[in-house]
Structure 1
Amino acid sequence: MTDSAAAPDQTEKEKWGRVLLCGGTNWLALGKKGLPADPEYPDLPLPHTLRSLSNVKATGVYTSHSGCHVIVLDVAGAAYLFGRNTSSCLGVPHTSRPFISQYTPLRLLPTDVGAAPGTKFVYAACGRAHSVLVGDEGSVWTAGLNAHGQCGHPAGGEMGTWKLITGGWARAKVGEKAVQASAGVNFTLVLTENGKVYAFGSGEHGQLANGRTGERIAQANKTTYDIEDEPIPVRGPLEDKVTTQVACGQQHAIALTSDGLVYVWGFNGYCRLGLGHPKDMLIPTLVPQYAGPNVLMRAAFVAAGPTSTIVIDRQKMLQMAGKFKTSGAGSVGQPFSTFRYFPEIQGCKVLLAAAGGVTHFATAVDEDAGPGGVMTIAWGQNAINSELGLGEGQPKSTPKPVRMETLNGIDVFALAAGQNTSFFLARPNEALLDLPRFPDAVPAPNLCVVCNEDREASGEEALECEKCDTPYHLGCLDPPLKSIPEGQWFCPKCANEFEDVLPLPGAKKSAGLPKADEEPKKKGRLAKRKAEDEEGDGGGGEAKKAKVAKK
């Protein structure tokens, strides 16, 4: 699992952004050898703005370090799903839809899964072949592979539709509200508003934290293990603690408490739990490294990869345990048996991190960029689909953390690292408009769709929609615009495309007028040329403006 890793200190800034991606996009071929490349679904060597969601104000992006599907949530509480539909993990039968294209994501509303009107999706999680959605009223829905009960329903087969979990915290006598979830390969964790953790799925390596695996010999001398398809509370040392964050690796888990303590459990191959030994832990076990009297040395953020675990302490220093390389320190023969710093980023004030199939990302304070500046850091080996996003002609892999020059100036506030694809949420700013869009081009008219005239000779150029590239003359809009709007501009159709998900009880419907999006001023492609001309004439320049249609 890599759930969306979101920066904790966003109170001063917008909490929504645009979806960026890099790496593999041919969902059915990812991770499989010998399949031919498909030019319609290329590998992206640098981050691109996902055009199909370019008009969506995204608040979260979620994927799995061991899977190839994605869930995006927006400010209105809708979900957008795409990627490989393994075992129906996207909530539709995989026999009819083996994948959902990023060009046409599936939009899912809470009411589509039986929630009351006004409910919003506020969190999600992705396992290898199952998915989780969390509603703002505390409900949890799951879909996908349920062979070990990892969907919180009677174990067996797969679930081709989203189904509400009614056990565990959801029981009336418990009355707790789910706020967060995390998913491994065959187990799931849910965190409640009261700071309690529930687990369900396979207990093969102690992932359920209930003190046992249930290992036994079944028929035909096959070994079997306990499964829990009814969510059970994680007890032991965590029972009296308030947990604030959970994260799952393939078969291990990590939890962060309100007092900055770190607890780990589950499979401990390659010492991924950071306890100094490779023994599996069947109950939550305190990591001594973060339990000292100095509160600055305690933890502020946790994440988990397939074979590694990440902690960011309160000094904003990133440390890692387990295996995350193919050679040298941190590899199979020399895993980090305890949490260790990276010398390359020891001086960075790290904000958040995420781990994918072979990739690792972090954001850190960029002091050179001024107040609020953020830089994005990446590292990992064997990233064969360019999922590190270091750029065209640049190495696909790097064993040491490096700055992502391709995201210079981009205000990234959420990370989601998948098996072969990486995702980012970035707040709108001037630099974001200069990123390439994916796909680069879509079919669109050459002339204004209202008048069907070419007025360039008379000095009237046409605006081009940021999403669909459809051109409009300023005067042909209703109401007409007097000047090119600053920032991104969406045509009436794209501006109102998802309006049906926005109204809540008592809310007023948007007039849907074509205008610049509600975001910080940023520069578009035409205004860049204008600004350069003005600077050449001694002018001071101005904020770049929305794109003008190309003929």
Structure 2
Amino acid sequence: QTEPLQHSPPPPHLSIYLSCILLTYHLWPLGQLLIFGATNWDLIGRKEVPKQQAAYRNLGQNLWGPHRYGCLNNVQVSCVVSGPCAAHSLLITTEGKLWSWGRNDKGQLGHGDTKRLEAPKLIEALADNVIVAASCGRNHTLALTEDGSVYSFGENKLGQLGQGNQTDAVLSPALISYNGQPLVKVACGAEFSMVVDCKGNLYSFGCPEYGQLGHNSDGKFIARAQRIEFDCELIPRRVAIFIEKSKDGQIMPVPNVVVRDVACGGNHTLVLDSQKRVFSWGFGGYGRLGHTEQKDEMVPRLVKLFDFPGRGATQIYTGYQCSFAVNEMGGLFFWGVTNTSRESTMYPKAVQDLCGWKIRSLACGKSSIIIAADDSTISWGPSPTFGELGYGDNKPKSSTTAQEVKTLDGIYTEQVVMGYSHSLVIARQDSQQEQEKLKKLPEYNPRTL
């Protein structure tokens, strides 16, 4: 391991480049945050609430339809964040302030404690920074500032905070150990992290299991007493090689990969490069990598389908154990699995139900999917669900096919996000009519302890 390095300010010519990038961030729409799904943050994805959180056992119900957060009536929200493994969420205001709420047993909310929060609250420690993007892992969080630095907080048992050490939990935001070019993207898997610099280089850190860090190793070694342990990456390490495999198994390096976007599932990663190519690697189970085989991939491997002129990808998204891409023609492709009791999709397949819809935003949780397209919000997912589909009280709880979310009729959603089993939506409120529509939605004022 090299010494953790101190972060230095970007050189002047890069400041201009960054300002351009940040302009795109600040063109974010402002809107009203809506929430639906599970809100008992300590119970999500668990059989029962852990002993140390017992006081919260009955706090937070399932919201079966969209609600406004009462406490956010005067907060201008520009972006909202959660993740397919996450029981916590973040929002970024139009001023670039970061707020957090939800599960907090590892300090992933960044407030210096492990107290669960029912309602969004400003992260005071980052109040002097302008935050432009953020990401949620299972129990950790990354926040990107407008000058290209990244703060991390939460669980760090496997080095997923990139601070040069392994500790149980870091309760307040601290800079990652990195001194390269300014960073422009962040993404979190369950127990690992990815960052991209302004030159399009990709760096990863955290748990290397399944090869998900892309360094040609799963990091396994046999420790004392025959226990398997992992050689974790404690500081950001550049992903050096991208490959393609021919039909007969020959491996060729792919040169000139300039990373434009990155998305992480529980244990796998997708990258979109400047030539609209898609690469995937990590855990291969259920076909989530799209290479027609269930093998783990230790380095980023080209997904063949999008490597044709006019058929490149323009957007990528990941669920817990699946992947999505929108191609240049606007078609949505899916691979992997949302329902493990049904057949896996081993390579990218067009989602016929959404043929002809223009997709703006897509999110996938543990097994449900939500999409903002044209003037509609669309969702589907197998049982059990917890309200994250948003269909409303006394309506079907699950759906195997894409359905319009009628509770949001006449409401234009700018962005959709999903946690493990809750949904967050930013609804446009530009016109009097839109504001009236939103006022009719019920208000969620959670009980607190």
Q: Same fold (TM over 0.5)?
A: yes
Opposite residue 349 of structure 1, the aligned amino acid is K
Say whether 1:130 aligns with 2:140: yes
Q: Is the 8 A contact 1:360 1:378 kept in 2?
A: yes
Say whether 1:271 aligns with 2:287: yes
Opposite residue 346 of structure 1, the aligned amino acid is C
Q: Is the 8 A contact 1:383 1:420 kept in 2?
A: no
1:186-224 CA distance string (max 9 Å, x none): 100012222211100011111111111232211110112
Moved more, 426-435 or 224-233: 426-435
SS in 1 for 2:266: coil
In the other structure, the counterpart of 1:513 is none
Q: Is the 8 A contact 2:26 2:94 kept in 1?
A: no
In the other structure, the counterpart of 2:313 is 299
Say whether 1:396 aligns with 2:410: no
Gap change, CA 1:78 and 1:34, over 3 Å in 2: closer
Say whether 1:54 aligns with 2:54: no
Partners of 1:407 and 1:13 lie apart in 2 by: 24
- Which residue of the other structure, out of 141, 159, 166, is the alignment partner of 1:155? 166
Residue 14 of structure 1, CA deviation: 6.2
Q: Scaled by the length of structure 1, what TM-score is found?
A: 0.69
Opposite residue 46 of structure 1, the aligned amino acid is G
Say whether 1:69 aligns with 2:84: no
In the other structure, the counterpart of 2:156 is 146
SS in 2 for 1:386: coil
- Which residue of the other structure, out of 186, 189, 198, is the alignment partner of 1:184? 189
SS in 1 for 2:167: coil
Say whether 1:425 aligns with 2:430: no
Residue 28 of structure 1, CA deviation: 2.2
Partners of 1:40 and 1:142 lie apart in 2 by: 28
In the other structure, the counterpart of 2:260 is 244
Q: Is the 8 A contact 2:386 2:421 kept in 1?
A: yes
In the other structure, the counterpart of 1:343 is 352
SS in 2 for 1:406: helix
In the other structure, the counterpart of 1:212 is 217
In the other structure, the counterpart of 1:375 is 376
- Which residue of the other structure, out of 88, 97, 107, is the alignment partner of 2:122? 107
Residue 51 of structure 1, CA deviation: 1.7
1 or 2 for the larger relative contact order (CA 8 Å, sep ≥6)?
2
Q: Is the 8 A contact 1:14 1:427 kept in 2?
A: no
Residue 12 of structure 1, CA deviation: 13
In the other structure, the counterpart of 1:89 is 108
Q: Is the 8 A contact 2:285 2:296 kept in 1?
A: yes
1:221-255 CA distance string (max 9 Å, x none): 01122210110111212772221110001110000
Opposite residue 264 of structure 1, the aligned amino acid is S
Opposite residue 338 of structure 2, the aligned amino acid is F
Opposite residue 340 of structure 1, the aligned amino acid is K
Partners of 1:90 and 1:12 lie apart in 2 by: 23
Residue 93 of structure 1, CA deviation: 4.9
Residue 326 of structure 1, CA deviation: 4.5
SS in 1 for 2:210: coil
Gap change, CA 1:166 and 1:34, over 3 Å in 2: closer
In the other structure, the counterpart of 2:247 is none
SS in 2 for 1:19: strand
Q: Is the 8 A contact 2:187 2:263 kept in 1?
A: yes
Gap change, CA 1:187 and 1:38, over 3 Å in 2: closer
Q: Scaled by the length of structure 2, what TM-score is found?
A: 0.85
Partners of 1:381 and 1:318 lie apart in 2 by: 19
In the other structure, the counterpart of 1:470 is none
Partners of 2:26 and 2:428 lie apart in 1 by: 12
Q: Percent identity?
A: 29
Q: Is the 8 A contact 1:215 1:226 kept in 2?
A: yes
Q: Return the index of the structure with the highest Cα Rg.
A: 1
SS in 1 for 2:106: helix
1:243-301 CA distance string (max 9 Å, x none): 111000111000011221001011111010011000011111000000012x2x11010
Q: Is the 8 A contact 1:51 1:437 kept in 2?
A: no
Q: Is the 8 A contact 2:42 2:57 kept in 1?
A: no
Residue 347 of structure 1, CA deviation: 2.9
Partners of 1:166 and 1:34 lie apart in 2 by: 36
Partners of 1:91 and 1:71 lie apart in 2 by: 11
Moved more, 233-242 or 282-291: 233-242
1:371-428 CA distance string (max 9 Å, x none): xxx2111011124311110112111111111111111221111111011210011110
Partners of 2:282 and 2:108 lie apart in 1 by: 24
**Number of residue pairs matched?**
403
In the other structure, the counterpart of 1:323 is 337
SS in 1 for 2:211: coil
In the other structure, the counterpart of 2:366 is 357
1:304-327 CA distance string (max 9 Å, x none): 111101111111111111111254
SS in 1 for 2:34: strand
SS in 2 for 1:157: strand
In the other structure, the counterpart of 2:437 is 434
Q: Is the 8 A contact 1:413 1:425 kept in 2?
A: yes
SS in 1 for 2:436: helix
Residue 352 of structure 1, CA deviation: 2.4
Partners of 1:317 and 1:235 lie apart in 2 by: 31
Partners of 1:306 and 1:206 lie apart in 2 by: 16
- Structure with bigger strand share is 2
Gap change, CA 1:24 and 1:300, over 3 Å in 2: same
Gap change, CA 1:163 and 1:226, over 3 Å in 2: same
Partners of 1:178 and 1:314 lie apart in 2 by: 26
Unaligned runs of 5+ in 1: 1-9, 366-373, 443-551
Unaligned runs of 5+ in 2: 1-23, 243-253
Say whether 1:261 aligns with 2:277: yes
Opposite residue 122 of structure 2, the aligned amino acid is R
Tell me how large the CA RMSD over aligned residues is. Answer: 2.3
SS in 2 for 1:205: helix
Residue 345 of structure 1, CA deviation: 1.5
Partners of 2:304 and 2:373 lie apart in 1 by: 26
Moved more, 180-189 or 384-393: 384-393
